[in-house]
Amino acid sequence: MARILIATSNAGKLRDFAGAAAGHGIEVAGIADFASLPRVIEDGETFEANARKKAQAYSRHVPSELVLADDSGLKVDALGGAPGVHSARYAAAKGDTGNASDQQNNARLLRELSDLPSQKRTARFVCAIAIARDGKVLQTFFGEAAGVILDAPRGTNGFGYDPLFFSAEAGKTFAELNAEEKAQYSHRGRAFAELLKWMLQSRMSF
């Protein structure tokens, strides 16, 4: 069974990737003692740049292992694509490189969209995945999911902006989906599906 280590301390992301890997003969796990590793500053201008930077850096700490890192975020059309790569720290104080809480980020988003009707609250989740081994990025993958931002949260299963993001395709917010449903409809699940295709088609031994 192939194994992929996920470079994150975010329990929600680990659940998402475990759900996406279920039934595909791939073991997904976090990196042991991840919190003790030197933090990688996500200062890239794109999701791909941040994902590649993290995968490259963290894979050096676990020799010979496949390490996956992602950078994901929300792009709201009415906000010119914001919060974008700043999604996790959208409500953080200026100059602060740390993340804000989900509640703070969601509250800011609702404030900024408070005067807009539903038809102007279109948005999409974007995910870039990078897979690396021994400090070398092997490949990158991408996924997107379209939706609208509600005026109040719904659901308790998700994290981040999931309770506000309604997917017409799924008929629910991302926070109302179970792990298997989210793997089907979410940006992260779709990016991971591209990774699975690559692993199946690649001649490399994993």
The two structure tokens encoding residue 14: 């680990």
Q: Which uninterrupted H or E stretch holds 11? A: helix 11-21
What digits encode the pLDDT tens for the residues 157-181?
A: 989 999 999 999 999 999 999 988 9
In the residue annotation, 71 being an active-site residue is answered as yes
Residue whose structure tokens are 């809480």 = 101
Strands, DSSP E only, in the chain?
2-6, 26-30, 66-76, 122-133, 136-149, 165-167, 172-173
**130 and 51 Cβ atoms separated by less than 8 Å:** yes
* Per annotation, catalytic residue among 16, 71, 102, 162: 71
> Do strands 172-173 and 165-167 pair parallel, antiparallel, or not at all (unpaired)?
antiparallel
What digits encode the pLDDT tens for the residues 92-125?
A: 877 676 789 999 999 999 999 999 999 999 999 9
User: Quick one: fold of 2-201?
Assistant: Maf protein (3.90.950)
User: Domain map of the chain by residue range?
Assistant: 2-201
| pTM of the model as a whole | 0.90
Mean pLDDT of 51-58: 98
Share of the chain above pLDDT 90, in %: 81
Mean pLDDT of 126-134: 98
Amino acid at 26: I
pLDDT at residue 97, as a whole number: 66
Which residue from 10, 7, 34, 15 is spatially nearest to 132, judged by alpha carbons?
Answer: 7
